[in-house]
Every structure is written in C-alpha cells, then in structure tokens.
Amino acid sequence: MKESEGLVSSVFTNPIKAVLDLADEGMNGASTQFDKLRDQRFCIGITGLSQSGKSTFITSLINQLLQHDTASLPGFSPVLTDRLLGVKIHPLDAPELPQFPYDDAYRGLASPQPHWPPSTEDASGCLLELRLENTGAKFNPFSRKQFSLYLEIRDYPGEWLLDLPLRDMSYSRWCAQCNAQYTQAPRAELLGELLTELQHLDPLAEADEAILKALNQRYVAFLNACKYNSKSLSLIQPGRFLIPGRIDDPEILTFLPLLKCGGYTEGQLNAAAKNSYYKVCQRRYKRYIKELVEPFYKAFFSRIDRQLVLVDVVNALNAGPDYIDDMRQALANITDSFAYGSRNRLLQLFSPKIDKVVFAATKIDQVLSEDHEAVRQLLSVIVKQAYRNAQHEGIQPICEATAAVRSSKEVKHENQLGISGFGADGNPIGYIHPKIPNRIPEGDEWAAFLTWKIPPLNPPKGISYQNDDAIPHIRLDSILNALIGDKCV
C-alpha cells in the first residue's frame, strides 16, 4: 500500500489521530497541512514549456498582487470588491529551495534600460500571503473579520517539464520514440550525420566510454539546436541535458538513444552484456529518472492543487505546422503526468488532485487586440488533446489569452493598424502582422505566417522601481480570478 493510501485510510478509521499525526512532519510541516485542511493554503503549478515566459509571468503575478491598490485588476473579484487588504511575500518552508528572485526580476523590468528576467536555470519558490476580508463575518458574529490565504508558487526550468513522461517509459521504448521522431523533419535535418551514426551504433557491442562521451556531446548540441534554432521545438528530451541544475554525478547525463534497438527483441536486449552500450545507457537512463526526474516530480507536481499551463501560441504559429504538431504532442504528454479531479478536503490533503486547469496563450501583446480572441480560440485547438485529458477526469479546463508584461502599443500606419514597441537594441520598432486565424492553418494558408518575422520586443520603458509601479499587463487579472477567485471568499 502506498503511503498516501495509508493516510487516507487512517482518516476514515481514526480522523483525529490522522490529523494529529501531521505533527510528525515538524511544526512547520504540520502548520502547512492544517492550512491546507482549512482550505487556506494551496499550491499553484505554473507549468510552461521552454520560452513560454513562465518566470516573467510569475514576476508579474507577484507584482500585480503586491501592488493591487494601483494595478489594473478589474477582473479579479477580491480587488473589485475591496476585500484584498494586503499581500506579503515569504520564503517557502523548504530550506533546500532558493527564494524566487522576484526583486531582481522586477528591477530588470523597471530599469532605465529594461530587460527580461534571465532564463530559469534551477528551481526556486515563494509563498504569497493574501490578507482578505472574511465575507462570512457579516452573518456570523463569532467569525474572524479577516483571514490569510497562502499561495505556494514554484519556478523551474521549462526543459525539466518534458522529462515527466519518462517516469512511465522504459529505456527501450524511449529509444523507439526517438527513432520515430528523428527520422522526420525538422529533427532529421538538425541531426545531420549524427542520425546515421546513432542508427548504426550496435546496442549489443561493448561500450567504449570515449566514443559514448563524444556522441553524447554531439547529441546535447543537437538538443540545443532543437531549442535555439530560429524556430524552437517543444518536445526536447532529456531536459536536464540542456539545463542540468544541481547534479552531484555528471555521469548520470552521459547516455543517448540507441536507434538500432528496434532491430532486436526485448529478450535479446535484456540478455546483453553488462558492459554493452545498451546496458550502460539503460543504467544511466534509470538513474536519471530515479535521481532527477522522480524527485523533481515529487517536490513540484505531486501536491499541485491548481494548474496554469502557459503556451506561446503566436510564435508556434510563426514557426509552422511541424512545430505546432510538436507542441501539441508535448502538451498532451505533459498532462498525462498529472492527476486531475475533484476531491473533498480531507482526501485532497492526503492524496491531492488538480481540481482546476487554466490554459493561457502568452505574449498576446505581439498581436492586435482585435486578434486576441482568435489567439484564444487557436489555443483551444492546439491544446485539444491535453484539454481532453483534464476534462476526462471530471474538471472543466479554461482557455485564456494574456500578456504578463504589455510591451507594445497599437498604432495606425497608412490606414492599417500595427504594433509598436522597443526592439532588442532598445530602439523603437513597428510591424504589421497577418490576420490571426482561430484554427490551425492548412495548405497555402501557412504562407503568410511562415514569411512573417516577429521581431523580439523589449519590456516597456517607464516602469519605476522606486515608486513600486505596477507592471502593465493584458488580462492577467482574469487568470488570477480563474485560478484563485473562488478561494478568496
């Protein structure tokens, strides 16, 4: 019996003892669990593929709440009704996890030469305390007039997210998946000669560490090309090959997919010598999952209560059909790794499930406001399979569109509306984009998007750190309300 199942069982056989047993976790742990039991603390899983703007989104979310008096949050009910009295940011009660670098990120966005937060290279987190007016106190003289709601937020490299499906995938199955992917565009072109070498490397041959290390280095270079070429792919595994984080033994990263495994039966592969390429890579693959992927899942995702999935729809549209399909598959694979469904409060405490999912198209400031609804509709098509995975478990996901930081303005040029902002060099730029479709283009419909070059936009100028200015955004208040509005009453 799993530990969580035992705890759930004890709730029904002896509920008082089950709650008291929380003290075994220490005072901080017990306090956290009691807050969850009272429905006053929950974890928001902000999930995003690489380059979806996750760290920027977290920075803006914290900023909007801290500056709620001056921020534009008409869609967030506690602000609209003046029930949000104050917000504080605390460290997480997890000493091994550094504090999310909110202040540094905010300073960068509000500097004279504003810049985006750097890409996340390791895990971090924070705890937000929202002090709220208790609406129930009006009808119950014994109720407290105020209460605190605690939001647990954790950040991590988006690359690590793609490893979650490996938890249920054998090494030989992963090799077969890679073989299917790598023989198709655009990965075949990015692999070049390495594809042929991987296809001819005999899994049963005695492993040569020098050859294995050299091939591994070229394989990592290929994964970087998948991410950093002009059009970034989404489904990149193993994610820690790109951003390792804190790792004690680098050998755990020295394996690669053996594409010739499909030419042997499982029996032949299992009977391979211990020093064969297959067995060496298989051992390191298993260690990778046990020592890196499983602990990451347990620390970040096993206790998520609400999930926000960020998707860069506009840039995927600009990249083309292969990249859209790759993103759809990546999102479907990710949602397979989570437990969705509604549960009562005690069961949610001991064996949690995600009871609300919001899919959000990010960076919609790159297109005109008249196209924002089309972006949202296009998102719903892209995440359809992932949406079904969540809906199947009894919850109704939501699709939204947002810009955590609004970096553009709409201008008219020769009787056409366009986008104006500041480029990567800090100088003003402007462009007119094709009409955004509300479904995935087909055939010749792709032409306008494949020739459209989206210039990177810098953050807007004029945000004052000294004056605690609220960061301009688009519809982040609606996402806040969808995620936590019902918890604030």
Q: What residue ranges do the domains of the chain occupy?
A: 3-161+299-407+465-488, 169-298, 409-450
Q: Tell me: domain 3-161+299-407+465-488, CATH 3.40.50.300, correct?
A: yes
Contact between 143 and 38 (Cβ < 8 Å): no
pLDDT band, residue 342 (cuts 50/70/90):
low
Q: Determine the Cα–Cα distance for residues 30 and 36; give it in Å rounded to an integer.
A: 10
Q: Residues 226-285: pLDDT tens digits?
A: 988 767 888 899 999 999 988 889 999 999 999 999 999 999 999 999 999 999 999 999
pLDDT band, residue 341 (cuts 50/70/90):
low
pLDDT band, residue 362 (cuts 50/70/90):
very high
Dihedral Cα 212, 217, 222, 223, nearest 10 deg: 100
Q: Comparing 107-116, 134-143, 283-292, which segment has the lowest mean pLDDT? A: 134-143
Rank 7-21, 134-148, 422-436 by mean pLDDT and report only the highest. Answer: 422-436
Q: Determine the Cα–Cα distance for residues 179 and 283; give it in Å rounded to an integer.
A: 20
What pLDDT shows up at residue 392?
67
- Does residue 434 surpass a pLDDT of 60? yes
pLDDT band, residue 51 (cuts 50/70/90):
confident
Q: Comparing 22-36, 199-213, 342-356, 452-466, which segment has the lowest mean pLDDT? A: 22-36
The answer, yes or no, to whether the previous bond of 238 is cis (omega within 30 of 0) is yes
pLDDT > 90 in the chain, percent: 60
- Does residue 6 surpass a pLDDT of 50? no
- Does residue 441 surpass a pLDDT of 70? yes
* Angle, alpha carbons 50-229-382 (nearest 5°): 50
What pLDDT shows up at residue 32?
53
pLDDT band, residue 432 (cuts 50/70/90):
very high
The reported pTM is 0.85
The sign one gets for the Cα dihedral 156, 358, 232, 473 is negative
Q: Determine the Cα–Cα distance for residues 235 and 162; give it in Å rounded to an integer.
A: 7
What is the chain's mean pLDDT, rounded?
Answer: 86
Largest CA distance in the chain: 78
Contact between 242 and 160 (Cβ < 8 Å): no
Contact between 300 and 154 (Cβ < 8 Å): yes
Please state the separation of Cα 318 from the chain's center in Å: 21
The answer, yes or no, to whether the previous bond of 186 is cis (omega within 30 of 0) is yes
Q: Residues 185-210: pLDDT tens digits?
A: 899 999 999 999 999 999 999 999 99
What SS3 state is found at 210? helix
Q: Determine the Cα–Cα distance for residues 391 and 394; give it in Å rounded to an integer.
A: 5
Contact between 327 and 49 (Cβ < 8 Å): yes
Q: Determine the Cα–Cα distance for residues 347 and 96; give it in Å rounded to an integer.
A: 27
Contact between 225 and 219 (Cβ < 8 Å): no
For the chain, the straight-line distance linking the first and the last C-alpha, in angstroms and rounded, comes to 37
What pLDDT shows up at residue 60?
97
pLDDT band, residue 7 (cuts 50/70/90):
very low
What pLDDT shows up at residue 5?
39
Q: Give one DSSP letter per residue of 267-318, joined into a string.
A: HHHHTS-TTBHHHHHHHHHHHHIIIIIHHHHHHHTTT-SEEEEEE-HHHHHH
